């Protein structure tokens, strides 16, 4: 496996792990699952604070909604595959950001 592929794989893993941790923390604290409806709150600090949260939690929310939609609504497999690719790419981008942040802070080489 090439170093670039390995780096992308770790970025995807870190992105999904961060998304899951943020979502689980939100659910434990607020006692309700997060969703994209957080952006529909009144214009102010809550809606503004929801944007960075959703940027990093979105891969988990996308996959949760996709799996539930497949089980409950019987969505087509093609839709599930497309949503998985989108969530994976989003996870890779957020994981890459976290890796770059850790590298800049000197926590990883």
Angle, in degrees to the nearest 10, between helices 3-30 and 45-72: 100
- Entry pTM: 0.86
pLDDT digits (tens, 9 = 90+) for 72-98: 988 889 999 999 999 999 999 999 999
Q: From CA 99, how far away is CA 73, in angstroms rounded? A: 37
Residue 47 has pLDDT above 80, yes or no: no
Of the candidates 47, 56, 51, the residue with the CA atom closest to the CA atom of residue 25? 56
- Sketch the domain layout of the chain as residue ranges: 3-104
Could you tell me which residues come within 8 angstroms of residue 16 by beta carbon, excluding any fewer than 6 positions away?
Answer: 59, 60, 91, 95
């Amino acid at each position: 496996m090439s170093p670039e592929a390995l780096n992308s794989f770790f970025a995807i893993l870190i992105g999904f792990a961060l998304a899951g941790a943020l979502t689980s923390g939100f659910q434990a604290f607020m006692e309700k699952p997060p969703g994209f409806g957080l952006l529909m709150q009144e214009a102010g600090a809550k809606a503004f604070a929801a944007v960075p949260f959703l940027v990093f939690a979105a891969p988990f929310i996308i996959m949760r909604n996709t799996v539930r939609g497949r089980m409950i609504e019987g969505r087509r497999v093609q839709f599930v595959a497309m949503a998985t690719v989108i969530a994976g790419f989003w996870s890779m981008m957020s994981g890459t950001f976290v890796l770059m942040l850790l590298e800049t802070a000197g926590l990883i080489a």
